[in-house]
Structure 1
Amino acid sequence: MADSDSEVEITRGEAAVKKWATMKKLSPKTADRLIELGYDSMEALSLLSEDDLGEANIPIGQTRLLLYSLKQTFPRGQAASGNNANHCNQDPQTNVDPEPNIQNIGDDDVFIRNVLGQLNGAQTQQQPSQTGPSGNMNGTNPPCTAVLDTRVNLLRSSVLADSTKKTYSSYLQPYLHFCNSKGIPLVPITPVNLARFIALLSYKLSFNSIRNYLSVVRLLHLEAGFANPLDSYYISSLLKGTKRVLGAQTVRKLPITPNILYRIFNILNFSNPKHLCFWAACLVGFFSFFRKSNLLAPSWEQFDPSKHMSRNNVRFSKTGAVIVVTWSKTIQYMQRSLLVPLPHIPKSPFCPSCILRLVFMLNPTNLPSCPAFMYTLDSKNHILSYATFLQMLKSCLSQIGLDPSKYSGHSFRRGGASFALECGLPPDLIKSQGDWKSDAYQSYLDPSLSFRVQVAERLGSEMLRRFPTPT
């Protein structure tokens, strides 16, 4: 069935045209006239040409503005239906990842440009100013428009965290390629074309990944002033069917258990400063339940003492150590500080505070803002980056006979939380130590079989107590 025959295409078609006209500063009369002429949807509007306006009786100023707006919204001059026979014979599994050219986006589509600029790092990044530009802020001598616009761009570019920008950028690429290949605008996308995009993703992605990729489609539409295209019965029912076909299982990395830690410890060479630093990171990650974004930096160049663990964040005492966290996944706006304690285990190679103090002592520095996990090798200071840590972890796991692909840096967070549960600690304390904002932490807990056996034996003994075996 052609797009124009689909009932879902009619929903809010006229409203979309009127909203588009308002954004382009066209008069309500012009919008009404377009709808009277049959251009009552964005797909129909994309087919409008200058010749079609010859007898439309639209004032010349509005006509010029209309043509300019059409050129900017539909820069390729192609229909928005995406019903192009040239694409029908292509393999649907091969068009998910290519890099598109975003230069085809209209220059006056300000909201879309802002989103693309944020996700692709186009906005100039700088430290936000608390006081603003010089001048009287009481209204008698405000900053000029250009200065305010620069400030607006800075504030807008700070909406998303850097990690979110990177994630959204990967989500954006398949959508850009899909729209470019079909000759349709990024916004607004029709329900039928959005369904086609979902179908394309379903060839290669899991259901949960598809929902993540659609988040950037939602963002683009909201930024451009359109309704969320996911909020329709047609799309929600399609996603429900997709979930039924693909399933919604989540494959999590396995936890690092105390037994695995012990086996890793036995194969490390502690005469090597790099191995000692790696072991310290393993223990801190296990006992603190830290996320990798707090524990280790990607590199020297990307190390940020306000985000990554530095020596300045650690306070040692006789009872262990306390790590001060001022930024994390759940502390995005410097609204609080989190104090994470590490235990002191006397004369034990598994004492995180002792091993961390030893690393500090072997690598003295006068700069408290240095990375917590650094080591000296060949008279040079090296940072233990997350990539190096992960490489060493996978090597150790392979040596002890485990599949490295089933583990990641996050396995320490999950393993520490699971061990805390086995030790009988209440869930609310585990949640506090790991700084979980919601109850999502419960999915991380992985009680061992021995722990479950304790539960079964406790139930059995209680049953026997209440109903003794007859003698």
Structure 2
Amino acid sequence: MWGAGKRKSRRPARFVDYYTEGLDEQQRDDVRPRSTSTPRFPVPKPREARREVDVDEVEEEIREATREIEALKVDLQRMERSVLEVQEGQQQNGERKTRHSRDVTAAKSRENSPTLGRHLGDGRREPQTRISANELRQFTRMKQDLHTRAASSPPPSRGRSKKAAASARSSSSSSESSTSRSSSSDHSRASRDADFQWKLLEEDTRTTQASVFAVGTSRNHQTHISTYLNFCNYFGIVPMPANPHNLACYAQFLSRSLRSSDSIAHYLSSVKLFHHLNGFTTFSLDHFEIAHTMKGLKKRLQHRPRQHGRVDIPLLVDLAGCFNPQVPRDAAIWAAIVFSFFTFFRRSNVVLDSKTQFDPKKHLKRRDILVSPAGLLIYVTWTKTLQSRERVLSVPLLPIPGSPICPVAAYTHMCDLIPTEPDQPAFVVPTRGRKLRPLTTSMLEKAFARAAASIGIPAGSLTLHDLRRGGYTLAFQAGVPRELRQLHGDWRSDADHVYLSTTVADRLRVPAALRDYVLRHSIA
């Protein structure tokens, strides 16, 4: 402060010298402050004319600098993730040498002790699956190659940062030159800049909120909300806030066209989301009339989900005869089928919904599948339950010598017939013009349906998702622990129980075990 009350104090010497340099004593007295209150803006130099600045140009420079700064933040986040992956790779490289001798010794001891096994969480004993030391060593090396590839990836672009710095300097110089305007015009310009920044912040916030749901989930919400609004418009009901009686009637209305009470619950959940997005955050479906209506609909509808087909080894062998391995298109389709079966992958991780919707950050690429004599190692960074890239899923596959359903042989044969760039989709097919296009869901579903119909399976009995179910059931029959089955198929909940398809022989194991126990412990 320059002063308070009757106390007067001079401005610091550095400010006085700045504004009085080159002036005589009379001019210096005129420039020195005589007011007891602090001026809001610096006093301009009186001895040189200021260049007039275009306000629109300054605002455009500020807007451009803001965009570049946001882009720099994204690049910094990517760089931090790459550094973390490199550090993890270095740490694993240091631990790999110390663990190698111990792993080899343990593997030899397991081979020499065929009765050795550990009790697992599901009550089963671990199967005596032999993995050679050479296979273990090669997969460990491939695992290390993933971190090496991440370390060798090019750093974020530097040109953008230079442009942002130039824009920032230009904006700073423009701001300094604009001090020649009056205090009222400066205040209005600052207010306009604040308004623009606030609008930009609101737009970024809406974009962030819109990214919460996936594209398919957002489309379902739009369909549900549109149905609810049409219902309210037809019966003359106020959509928001909805009362419990109207929602109970809405559920009854949906039961005329929907056969499952779970589907009706999804429609009501979208109505709740619609209220929350419009400010009615206290709206809830926990009301007696709504819950009572849903219980009644569940008993009246008595919906039974469709019984899924089962893809087992004999069926997969029969399907192999429906594809010509010398035709590139058939080779790609068959590789995608056995790939889905043995990896338990969802359809979205293997093929694309459309040939124009390829996203390198989400979909599987050729460089994400490492090939070695020991097998394949698939590097996955996005799945249905892995949408924030918070971890990496590594799925290994071993060859099956002499088997027509070997996934390693099918994939390597496809790569030999259809070579492509490492950053292209993993499964591509050639077109008539000798160009490559991604293998889409529609193409794979039609080819899978034709192959199933050719071996006598009724239409609609099998889907691509049944490959995931069949692979999981095969792992259960092979005695693989449930924890490893969940990790291999990337299940985050207990939903994997639904994928288990048991046979009569599997169900007879329980009474057979009880019978054997009683016979062993019966008293003569």
Distance 1:423 1:395 in 2: 30
Partner-residue secondary structure (3-state), 1:307: coil
Distance 2:307 2:485 in 1: 19
Structure 1 residue aligned with 2:451: 396
Structure 1 residue aligned with 2:270: 216
Structure 1 residue aligned with 2:424: 370
User: Which of 457-466 and 412-421 deviates more?
Assistant: 457-466
Q: Call closer, same or farther: CA 1:146–1:203 in 2, change over 3 Å.
A: same
Alignment RMSD:
2.3
Structure 2 residue aligned with 1:435: 490
Structure 2 residue aligned with 1:196: 249
Q: Call closer, same or farther: CA 1:174–1:296 in 2, change over 3 Å.
A: same
Distance 1:172 1:255 in 2: 36
Distance 2:456 2:331 in 1: 22
Unaligned residue ranges in structure 1 (runs of 5+) = 1-127
Pairs aligned (count): 338
User: Which of 270-279 and 445-454 deviates more?
Assistant: 445-454
Distance 1:463 1:308 in 2: 54
Distance 2:481 2:72 in 1: 42
Q: Call closer, same or farther: CA 1:383–1:245 in 2, change over 3 Å.
A: same
2:287 aligned with 1:345 = no
User: Which of 331-340 and 147-156 deviates more?
Assistant: 147-156
Cα contact 2:328–2:418 (8 A) shared by 1: no
Distance 1:433 1:160 in 2: 25
2:299 corresponds to which of 228, 231, 244: 244
Runs (4 or more) in structure 1 with deviation over 6 Å come to: 132-136, 140-143
Letter in 2 for 1:194: L
- TM-score, normalised by the number of residues in structure 1: 0.67
1:131 corresponds to which of 40, 62, 73: 73
Structure 1 residue aligned with 2:223: 170
Cα contact 1:421–1:447 (8 A) shared by 2: no
Structure 2 residue aligned with 1:319: 374
Letter in 2 for 1:309: L
Q: CA deviation at 1:270?
A: 2.2
Once the two structures are superposed, what CA deviation does each residue of 1:171-202 show, in whole Å capped at 9, x if it has no partner?
Answer: 23321221221233332112222112101111
Cα contact 2:369–2:376 (8 A) shared by 1: yes
Distance 2:219 2:315 in 1: 32
Partner-residue secondary structure (3-state), 1:187: coil
Letter in 1 for 2:261: F
- TM-score, normalised by the number of residues in structure 2: 0.61
Letter in 2 for 1:450: A
2:471 aligned with 1:416 = yes
Partner-residue secondary structure (3-state), 1:274: helix
Q: CA deviation at 1:382?
A: 3.1
Q: CA deviation at 1:291?
A: 0.9
Structure 2 residue aligned with 1:328: 383
Q: CA deviation at 1:412?
A: 0.7
Q: Call closer, same or farther: CA 1:223–1:311 in 2, change over 3 Å.
A: same
Letter in 1 for 2:443: T
The correspondence of residues 14-29 of structure 1 with structure 2, limited to 5 A, is none
Once the two structures are superposed, what CA deviation does each residue of 1:44-99 show, in whole Å capped at 9, x if it has no partner?
Answer: xxxxxxxxxxxxxxxxxxxxxxxxxxxxxxxxxxxxxxxxxxxxxxxxxxxxxxxx
Structure 1 residue aligned with 2:309: 254
Distance 1:214 1:135 in 2: 50
> For the pair shown, which has the larger CA radius of gyration, 1 or 2?
2
Q: Call closer, same or farther: CA 1:192–1:343 in 2, change over 3 Å.
A: same
2:298 aligned with 1:356 = no
Q: Give the helix-richer structure, 1 or 2.
A: 2
The correspondence of residues 259-338 of structure 1 with structure 2, limited to 5 A, is 259-338=314-393
Once the two structures are superposed, what CA deviation does each residue of 1:223-260 show, in whole Å capped at 9, x if it has no partner?
Answer: 22323341211111111111121125332532322221
Once the two structures are superposed, what CA deviation does each residue of 1:334-360 show, in whole Å capped at 9, x if it has no partner?
Answer: 111111112211232211122111111
Identical columns (%): 33
Once the two structures are superposed, what CA deviation does each residue of 1:156-184 show, in whole Å capped at 9, x if it has no partner?
Answer: 22121122112223323321221221233
Cα contact 1:288–1:340 (8 A) shared by 2: yes
User: Which of 211-220 and 454-463 deviates more?
Assistant: 454-463
User: Which of 170-179 and 318-327 deviates more?
Assistant: 170-179
Distance 2:521 2:269 in 1: 54
Distance 2:337 2:371 in 1: 18
Cα contact 1:257–1:415 (8 A) shared by 2: yes
Structure 2 residue aligned with 1:65: none
Q: CA deviation at 1:219?
A: 0.3
Partner-residue secondary structure (3-state), 1:297: coil
Q: Call closer, same or farther: CA 1:332–1:129 in 2, change over 3 Å.
A: farther
Letter in 2 for 1:257: D
Cα contact 1:273–1:377 (8 A) shared by 2: no
Distance 1:467 1:428 in 2: 36
Structure 2 residue aligned with 1:406: 461
Structure 1 residue aligned with 2:279: 225
Structure 2 residue aligned with 1:453: 508
Unaligned residue ranges in structure 2 (runs of 5+) = 1-69, 75-163, 170-189
